[in-house]
Copies of this chain bind each other. A is one copy, B any other.
Amino acid sequence: MTRPDAVQPVFRALADPTRRAILSMLATGDRPIGDIAAKFEMTRPAVAKHLAILKEGDLITVEAIGRERINKLNPAALKTAQEWLNHFDHFWDEKLSKLKQAVEEKK
């Protein structure tokens, strides 16, 4: 089960296009911040801030190896967002079946 207060940092992290791009990048392989920053038109500290926000949402984890810090995607945290969105599918299905029911009764 996903705690409701865990949703906020996840959606907050997903709201920025740079952060979503970082997640996509990490989906293809673990990378240190230097590699990531090289792909974007912004300075390393800017990328570091984005990584910090991704960490707060538990969307990535960091492993220190020597002087490098490898950033890894944590796909489990994405489930938090997926589950929240799935609730609407249920609501929607219910609405449709009620609508269907109403139509049936009119017949």
Q: Which residues of A contact B (CB under 8 A)?
A: 7-8, 11-12, 14-15, 17, 20, 23-24, 27-28, 73, 75, 78, 81-82, 84-85, 87-89, 91-92
- Are A28 and B85 in contact, CB atoms less than 8 angstroms apart? no
CA–CA, A17 and B81, complex, Å:
13
- Residues on the B chain within 8 Å of A91, using CB: 27-28, 75
Minimum distance in angstroms from A70 CB to a CB of chain B: 15
Copies of this chain in the oligomer: 2
Binding site secondary structure of chain A: helix
- Residues on the B chain within 8 Å of A88, using CB: 23, 27, 73, 75, 78
- Are B92 and A85 in contact, CB atoms less than 8 angstroms apart? no
Q: Can you list 15 A-B pairs with a CB-CB distance of less than 8 A? A: A7-B20, A11-B11, A11-B15, A12-B15, A20-B84, A27-B87, A27-B91, A28-B91, A73-B88, A75-B88, A75-B89, A78-B85, A81-B81, A81-B85, A82-B85
Give the most central of A20, A78, A88: most B CB within 10 Å: A88
